[in-house]
Structure 1
Amino acid sequence: MMKGSPYRAYSMIYGKNVYELDLGLRDALKRYMGGEPDFHGFGRYVSSDLLEVIDYVDKYGSPHPIYWDLNGERIDDIWISPSLRRELEKIIAFYGVNRPPIHDGDWLTHMTYLYMMGDAGVECIVTVTMQTAYAIYKYGDSEMRHIASHMFGDGIPVYYGATWFSEVNAGSDLGGIETLAKLENGVWRLYGIKYFTSNIGFADYALVVARVEGGRSGVKGLSLFLMPTRDRDGRPNYRLIRLKDKLGTINVPTGEIELDGSMATPIGDLEKGYYYALENLMISRLANTFGSVGLSRRAIMEVLLYASNREAFGRRLVDHLLYRGDLLILDAVSMADLILAIEAVKRWEMVQEEKPPYSEVYAYARVYNHMAKAVTAKHSIYVTGEAMELMGGRGFLKDFMIERLHREALVTSIWEGTTNIHSLDFLEALIVKNGFKKILEDLNGIEDILDRNIYNGVRDVVARVERFIGEADTSRAEDAVIKSKSILFDLARLISLAGLYRLGDINSRYLDLALIYYNYMFRGVYPDIDNTKKFIESISYNINI
């Protein structure tokens, strides 16, 4: 009998099936998809082959820059784990994770794949590839659509994409972008420095935001380009300055590059680059949302398996009441976040065909997008941090998987806009772009969903959000800004609570979790003895406890 991989000593999940263990995900998909889809094969894969490669690269296989070849020629390339390359080809070509949005307009299936990966780095590689494909498929010409087909996994070989927007003085504030696009002898060429270039080394093509020479200042002067990473002769189409040394997301190489006459092709209307870029960010923010929740759920799963075996003070960890109370809170928070993530992606599906200028329904989808990204990222940091504590000293060791999940979670509140940025964008979408109209409809529906006692407990929060919406146009701008973050979290938690309560139609465990979530998030009350006694019936994992 073969002994198997020694990695089995590092993770409790390894060799199992994360989809089959995650009852919460399966029940949520039943409700929102009208039946349970088949993710069993992918669940086995991400719990074995992919998991081992992800952790190995994180610990021992960091990407390495190669600037020169033996002949003294600049190649500006990245040496990446061959095993990781093979797994990514399998993810895109064999499992087809990028196909559902284009073939069926089904973003929930795509996002579920990302959720299940359990690694922000690999998720990023798939996401920026999807973003690139989406932009050129929707706004590009026939040649660009052919390139996109290879990113969807419909063509072989697989092509990888990237989104290279950020500069030293232009992160969330795209108005600070200084990269210039010049039309020289009929060819567009780019000049500037891009400060965060994730997926460098993998990427065959990148979306690049630049300012057309002689054009308008500010964000209205930005255009979106598709830039191949190699020219027609196979030479690098940029100069690599360095690779970033990051705390996490080791699986995705991130560089700093110089564009010095890099050839590129405009995408769509040159004057609408800013709108294309922001629309593209809707996708990455949803991906960040599902990735955040996936990290939370994976961490809880790892702890549950560990605690069901580990004994202390004469009994298993999972049999201690305080330990159970902690797990119930983490489970309730992560399940509520999963509901919020699904609600956000379903609203994106409603508007995915829109082009600028966008409708008020698009603004409504943006409200959910900003809420879900901000809230799930913050909660992921909390949940994975608590999971480390629940594993004791082992949780802090790099030997085991749990600390990686926390390092990955830390970036989720920074990537694709910080919480403050999302609070401001939430405010704009809600008030300036009139997203509040349908939000008020959602608020009005909450009373019909919740138990009367619970609704009475959140009535003041509902009133606070409604009052903010009613007064935002007439109040001082500074007042609306300073309140925007708290209102974002209030609204997100109301919607999450209602969605979790509605999931009680599938199984009564979600009514238990909804009550725990309500008590903890709205009242600051810890689970009581009745909650902990019903632990096995309430927890949303298929684990033998």
Structure 2
Amino acid sequence: MSEPRSDLPTHQVENQPPVRGDIDLLQSDPVLQSHLAAVDRVSVNSLARTLGQARWRQTAREAQRHPPELVLFDAAGRRLDEVRFHPAYHDLMTLGLQAGYAVAPWTGGSHLSHAAMVYLFSQVEPGICCPMTMTYAAAPVLNDVPVWRSRVTAPDYDPRILPIGQKRAATLGMAMTEKQGGSDVRANSTLAVPDGEGYRLTGHKWFCSAPMSDGFLTLAQAPGGLTCFLVPRWLEDGRNAIHLMRLKDKLGNRSNGSAEIEYQNAFAERIGDEGDGVRTIIRMVHHTRLDTAVAPAGLMRAALCHAHYWATHRRAFQRNLIDAPLMRAVLADLVLDWEGATALGMRVAAAFDDPNQAGFARISVALAKFLNNKLAPNFTYECMEVLGGMGYVEDTPLPMLYREAPLNSIWEGSGNVICLDILRTLAKDPIAANALQGELEAAKGADRHYDTALHDHQTRWPGLPAEDQARWFAERLAVLLTASVLIRQSPGAVADGYVATRVAGRHGRVTGAVAGLNHAAILERIGNDV
């Protein structure tokens, strides 16, 4: 391939950043490195180097530009109910699953290394994370189904349409949401009728994530109440009666298929007891929420690096953009939110690895999901604005990142649902409440502004707030938790800046409306992304 020409007939191409080459996404990121133990760094090293290569960024663009295609019938009119993907999608799935994205915590690795892989993939191709995340999260629900458990914990990708017993590995999807209920899954109307050793399901699902998965965890009304089921896509004697109705025309997440489906007397295996569906499926939801808490930090990292790279290589008004005090204020302010989101996400992931911190994991994953995702859309927009008009066109990744930014807040419980879950957990789970309090108290004495803010929070809400204050309460609690992690684990310039602006409130309503930050020390946290 010949080099692109800069000497065009009408002008010389200049003052444009050079094309970015290969980037080691771990070695160039001091913040991620600081939150991983040596064993976790080893486990993600290869993936970080590979994903950062220019050719894999191009593969990701191909997967995004060629969305999945719904194929309902063959040429003769026989029912197929298939979704077909561009080869780039399958290449990325192979890369992620063979790297251990879905299986690391279940095969001797850690949730922390899994979280790092979520963070890395979110920087390059977030859509592919959906089926891999659900496969990861399904494993603890399938402990009593050995053949399925063995396939979802195999570090491989096998897209062939075959019964589960003939597969090297399997992926799991989820189909819970119905039109009339949304997050209120107890309003589901899909019926499950006992049939020998299994059940037959009939009903409609408004959202089915990753419809080409080998099986789906779903909820349906059995004789004993709302129950969790595993619905295989392929049976020993042919296709199961899962009919794809249409693919969702989504804002983002374009490489990944999401569908409306109907169960038309589809065979299913019961998971857990009848009437215990929510309690059963919540084990999967708990783990998917970890990924929705970490993914926005990856999106923010990608957007910030593109903005920083542009500012470093672009000149305007007789100086490099990166040397302009106002640009440095904007970028430093962004670093505080990105490092806070990353630190909180990785702290939560570490709690998933420690059985003694299970209570803290339950409450902190909800707090991290809520705050990190509320920050991501505006954060991504501000990075887009750094590039000006270039940031608004599809030649850069910023539009993709911007479209992706709202997703993880909506998936697995939107903002109000998460806030109500936070209140419910604190009311009913004293272990979780005490663990959270201990984490907040652990940072006391290092920063008087933090100490004052924590005292004010506890004075304002000596108990739980009224429901209409739940967002204020959850936001403040999540900000304090983030500050606690930063005070104990991050450099002083970052922790001091975060506490001064986010905790003590010395901050305007827009990004960059700050004063007194140590710009140089904070910007160093971006690392060697140029």
Separation of aligned partners in 2, 1:410 and 1:280: 21
Note the C-alpha offset of 1:129: 1.5
Q: SS of the counterpart of 1:447?
A: coil
- 2:338 aligned counterpart, secondary structure: helix
- Name the CA distance, whole Å, in 1 between partners of 2:276 and 2:412: 20
Match of 1:218 in 2: none
Given the superposition, is the C-alpha separation of residues 543 and 398 from structure 1 closer, same or farther in structure 2, using an over 3 Å criterion?
A: closer
For residue 277 of structure 1, the aligned residue among 277, 281, 291 is: 281
Match of 2:22 in 1: 15
Q: Is the Cα contact below 8 Å between 1:420 and 1:485 reproduced in 2?
A: yes
Please say if residues 440 and 466 of structure 1, whose CA atoms lie closer than 8 Å, have aligned partners that are also in contact: no
Q: Does 1:165 align with 2:176?
A: yes
Deviation at 1:134, TM superposition (A): 3.1
In structure 1, stretches of 5+ residues that fail to align are 216-220, 353-360, 473-478, 505-509
User: How far 1:53 sits from its partner (Å)?
Assistant: 2.1
Instruction: Tell me which amino acid in the other structure corresponds to 2:28.
Output: L
TM-score (norm 2): 0.88
- Distance (whole Å) between structure 2 residues aligned to residue 330 and residue 106 of structure 1: 29
Deviations, residues 51-70 of structure 1 (Å, cap 9, x unaligned) = 22222222x30111111112
Establish whether residue 524 from structure 1 lines up as the match of residue 506 from structure 2. yes
Partner Cα distance (2:61, 2:192) in 1: 40
Aligned to 2:220: 210
SS of structure 2 residue aligned to 1:18: coil
Q: 1:230 to 1:2 in 2, by over 3 A?
A: farther
The whole-number CA distance in structure 1 between the counterparts of 2:331 and 2:462 is 39
- Give distance in 1, aligned partners of 2:194 and 2:265: 10
In the aligned structure 2, how far is the partner of 1:380 from the partner of 1:252?
20
Shift of 1:13: 5.0
Tell whether the 8 Å contact from 1:19 to 1:26 is kept in structure 2 after alignment.
Answer: yes
CA distance in 2, matches of 1:404, 1:158: 30
Displacement of 1:145 in angstroms is 2.6
CA 1:543–1:151 in structure 2 vs 1: closer, same or farther (change >3 Å)? Answer: closer
Q: Secondary structure at the match of 1:338?
A: helix
- SS of alignment partner, residue 169 of structure 1: coil
Q: Do the aligned partners of 2:194 and 2:200 also contact (CA within 8 Å) in 1?
A: yes
Q: Contact 1:27 / 1:36 at 8 angstroms: preserved in 2?
A: no
| Paired position in structure 1 for 2:528 | 542
Say if 1:168 and 1:10 are closer, same or farther in 2 by CA, change over 3 A.
farther
Q: Which residue of 2 aligns with 1:492?
A: 478
Q: Using the TM superposition, give the Cα deviation of residue 301 of structure 1 relative to its aligned residue in structure 2, in angstroms.
A: 1.0
For 2:32, which of 18, 21, 25 is the aligned residue? 25
Deviation at 1:259, TM superposition (A): 0.4
- What does residue 123 of structure 1 align with? 129
For 1:369, the aligned partner's letter is: V
Contact 2:152 2:171 in 1 (8 A): no
Output the CA distance in 1 between the equivalents of 2:227 and 2:18: 46
Residue correspondences, number: 502
Deviations 1:379-407 (A, max 9, x none): 11121111111111111112211111111
SS at match of 2:444: helix
Instruction: Specify whether residues 487 and 524 from structure 1 end up closer, same or farther in structure 2 by C-alpha distance, changes over 3 A only.
Output: same
* Aligned partner of 1:465 among 452, 457, 462: 457
1:436 aligns with 433
Question: What secondary structure does 1:104 align onto?
Answer: coil
Partners of 1:348 and 1:528 lie apart in 2 by 37
- 1:239 is paired with a residue whose SS is strand
The more displaced of 275-284 and 143-152 is 143-152
Give how far 1:501 is off: 2.2
Contact 2:207–2:258 under 8 Å retained in 1? yes
- Cα distance in 2 between the residues matched to 1:62 and 1:90: 19
Which residue does the alignment assign to 1:394? 390
Give the C-alpha shift of residue 421 in structure 1.
0.9
| 2: CA distance, partners of 1:209 / 1:319 | 56
- Alpha-carbon contact 2:364-2:436 (below 8 Å) kept: no
Unaligned runs of 5+ in 2: 5-15, 159-165, 508-512
Residues in 2 aligned to 1:401 and 1:338: alpha-carbon distance in whole angstroms: 20
Q: Which amino acid aligns with 1:128?
A: M
3-state SS of the aligned residue for 1:539? helix
2:353 counterpart of 1:349: yes
* Alignment match, 1:356: none
TM-score normalised to structure 1 length: 0.86
Separation in structure 1 between the aligned mates of residue 406 and residue 433 of structure 2, nearest angstrom: 31
Q: Which residue of 2 aligns with 1:87?
A: 92
| Residue type of the alignment partner of 1:492 | A
Query: Letter of the aligned partner of 2:202 in structure 1?
Result: Y
Alpha-carbon distance in 1 for matches of 2:155, 2:189: 29
